[in-house]
Amino acid sequence: MRFITSILCLIATTAQVIAAAEVYTCNATVSCPEEYPCCSQYGQCGTGEYCLSNCNPIFSYEYDACLPEPVCKDISTKFDNYTSKVANINTFLGNASEADWLYTGTVLDYDDEGSMILAMPKNSGGTVLTSSRDVWYGKISARLKSSHLAGVITAFIVFSGVQDELDFEWVGADLNTVQTNYYWQGLLDYHNSANISTNDTFDNYHTYEIDWHEDYTTWSIDGVIGRTLLRNETWNETLQAYKYPQTPSRIHLSIWPGGNATNAPGTIAWAGGEIDWDADDITDPGYYYAIVNEINVTCYDAPSGTSQNGTESYIYKNGDTFLQSDVMISNKRFYLDSYEGTGLNITAGATTSSTASSSSATSSTSHNSTSKESSTSHDSSTSVTSSAYHNSSSTGHSTASITSVSKSSSHSSSGASRTSSSNTSSRLSSANSGSLMSFNNIILFFSALGLLL
């Protein structure tokens, strides 16, 4: 399933709040206006974080409104006691040195297995873990346990701003099959999917690897290749192009409700049927979950012939075709100073926002006006979290495996349980300048509580 479909689920949970503000949407037919020039992966126009991480240059006001993407870096991450190192994507301004991984949704430490939980509480849109840098060809391997039950999707994908995509997907209704898929520039194509068999993906850790080369890709499970895609096979005579994923991409791991009742019937059928929001997992531990133990990233060299006048970031040379040959490596900056910045004016708002945050008058006003707003969202996330921990009487496998989370939940009450309670505000901030102040102040408020990095 296209990653974009799962992202729609994430924003569905905040739809009523977004509806209150003026929001510009962007898609293949409507680009963003100059004032809010960046088209986010959520299909909404804005500035700041909208211009980072999977900003879509095709649907943006101008292709270079999206910021350059930080180049690939080899990493090996053990997700052991890791939640405090994951940055909230909605408040991250792009400095990839600050964090290797970003999240939206709910992540929890799972000490018993030295792993991290991606959680999907009742009626939520789930959780996405995203790399802070791109891969432009490389090998990515993830050791994980999928979620389970009908309608619950776990995914490990590679996804670019122009929606090139390589997927591993687990449909919770069939734990012995892993689906693989690929897309080129987000075009729907129902013939690109293929299955690989394995044993119970919920009970067992397996290592899933996407080995993405310029001219072929393999999908492997536990070191055994289950699928090979040749770029050659994807040639389209009409377009005179390979419909092969070929642009700098982020790594995403996610859990999302493919079987939510409001999704398209085809999506629900693919997801194995409607999700049961009253399943045992929702009572105890309090959420559906996938568990990630380790991810390794090995970067490959850029294709020969790639234009290069630096070493720091990937940029597009022009706004025309967005193919491999349009990508170059530069030293252009890939981070912002403020939520008002864009690729077209990278320093916009820099002075304003530092003045605002250093002015005690402003921040005390804002503190009052936001504490009500932000404590609402904080409370709702806390209640999700605490209901998870109050119900940890153990019966059966899944209960037992999650009971130890209640141990790590003692960290969560001190700030290690990280949720997307500020999501809504960050989207509003860019879509509606009237709420920009309150968004920055919510950040100050959460920083003060130690809830952000």
Ligand X SMILES: *[C@@H]1O[C@H](CO)[C@@H](O)[C@H](O)[C@H]1NC(C)=O
Query: Is 147 a residue that touches ligand X (CB under 6 A)?
Result: no
Catalytic residue among 49, 69, 169, 340: 169
Residue number, 311 or 393, with CB nearest to ligand X: 311
| Residue 25 one-letter amino acid | T
Q: Are 308 and 208 in contact (CB under 8 A)?
A: no
Contacts of 111 (CB under 8 A, 6+ apart): 80, 81, 404, 405, 407, 408
Query: Is 406 a residue that touches ligand X (CB under 6 A)?
Result: no
Phi, psi (degrees; rounded to nearest 5) at 206: -130, 160
**Alpha carbon distance 240, 235 (integer Å):** 7
Indicate which single residue of 20, 34, 74, 232 sits in contact with ligand X (rule: CB under 6 A): 232
Strands (E), 26-152: 38-39, 45-46, 69-70, 75-78, 87-88, 101-104, 106-110, 115-121, 127-131, 138-145
- Least CB distance to ligand X at residue 120 (A): 9
Stretch that binds ligand X, among 51-59, 231-239, 381-389, 440-448 (CB under 6 A): 231-239
Q: Are 46 and 38 in contact (CB under 8 A)?
A: yes
Query: Is 355 a residue that touches ligand X (CB under 6 A)?
Result: no
Establish whether 294 is a catalytic residue: no
Residue number, 55 or 150, with CB nearest to ligand X: 150
Query: Is 25 a residue that touches ligand X (CB under 6 A)?
Result: yes
- Nearest alpha-carbon partner for 404 in 289, 295, 296, 294: 289
Tokens linked to 347: 């320093």
Establish whether 113 is a catalytic residue: no
Indicate which single residue of 355, 368, 376, 410 sits in contact with ligand X (rule: CB under 6 A): 368
Indicate which single residue of 44, 141, 353, 425 sits in contact with ligand X (rule: CB under 6 A): 141
Query: Is 261 a residue that touches ligand X (CB under 6 A)?
Result: yes
In the chain, the N- to C-terminal Cα span, in Å, equals 32
DSSP 248-297: -EEEEEEEE-TT-TTS-HHHHHHTTS---TTSHHHHTTSEEEEEEEEEEE
- Least CB distance to ligand X at residue 218 (A): 14
Question: What would the x/- binding string for ligand X be over residues 270 to 309, using CB under 6 A?
Answer: ------------------------x-x------------x
Residue ranges binding ligand X (CB under 6 A): 9, 12-13, 25, 27-30, 76, 81, 84, 95, 97-98, 111, 123, 125, 141, 143, 171, 174, 177, 179, 187, 193-195, 199, 204, 207, 222, 232, 235-236, 238-239, 257, 260-262, 294, 296, 309, 330-331, 345, 348-349, 365, 368
Residues classed as catalytic: 165, 169
